[in-house]
Structure 1
């Protein structure tokens, strides 16, 4: 396979399909053992609240026609109640929300619709939740990504919807060498690596450089009674300058090496930086009474 784009592919089928995804490459970067662990470790569905809420919001915004089939609203308020957990167990292919969570999703979606830039992107022409597969020409590794919305033909960009605890973190910038930018989720959650990988896979598929990745960000916390919304874009050139692009390519190469040699055993060390300031002069201490 050189490249392929599949529409309406069930998420479960995508996850089980051949190919390496961005999340797997980031695991390999830390330890190739983590990649095998991610394939085999059990999932506690009762502790997956954040992912379920995120998926529900994505569906409400990008595929509203599927929302009522995917999301079920329980009659009980607590996730820890027996009735709620039984409903989850009886409906493994659905997302079960409490009434309060369902109302929160509705308000957050309406908040996005009230934001001109976010609304324009959500309504732009493009395929939602399409699955893109492409073979890396350097390593022969099959790569896969599933952008929330592919607006390459209409906006020249891939689009991703994110929820965040504090939207102002997305506005943190580096100024005169200070460390504020490290609060930005591009770094703290490594979304820069995701953007680089998705742009790379899309570029292989389309046969030309796709140079912009856009985040539609919705706050999970209230500000003045509302859920803030923001739109943030990053370019290929910025991702290259900040080191994400090179890391992403290195991780593809590392996966290829591990796969070819079947080397998945690894141990991690510690990386602490000890700063020595050679410019600090020795301090002479003089006690009272000394001559």
Structure 2
């Protein structure tokens, strides 16, 4: 049995969809009874489990052979994933496929990159067979800025640094394949999109898809931080994002394309233009509405 944590999230939910499509038995773990009911209504096996309540994990992991481990980047991430790994070991889980990050490093100034590295070390020392997936930044993160993009601006602090952005749908495809197959023990896979580009190129591609000019604004760090705070990010998340883009990306520390997604799944990853076409309505929503009113 495969246990999928984060089953209502973008990556976890897509993994569940892919496993169901392949008729692979799995169990979705969620934190609220209403989520269990909703997944069961879709014909999925679902169970309650909360990494913040380790006592809930033995029942969720009963009979589980393989687990997909993912948690959102929060200040509780280290404690949550350590609890999950330790509970998995006690429950007899044979293998863990963990979502990490391409920039994971124990000395990183990006808080979740540092946390992922520490968790990765703990997993590798746990005695459980492991596979670690290390994606680059997600293309879906551009949706955070859909409102300014609708107004013709892409705000960032990335200078002319480039990123091999990856679509979360492709990360999920790799995870689903690795979960179904043997032969991935003690493997670390760096997952990227098919090319690398800077924010100026991103703005140009946004313009091509939306049908109007989008200008890249390379903001001062404090102004970008203020924008992140206004859009609902915590102080902790805001500080980490500023460091990630103003230091890691602007400093040209991202990795080049690896082509692991195609090697592992047999299908090339989505390029940025394909991602933008698939999400075009979210980037042009209000603009399209104004056009309709004018007509």
Bigger RCO (CA 8 Å, 6+ sep): 1
Q: Give me the TM-score of the superposition, normalised by structure 1.
A: 0.28
Q: Give me the TM-score of the superposition, normalised by structure 2.
A: 0.27
Q: Which has the larger radius of gyration?
A: 1
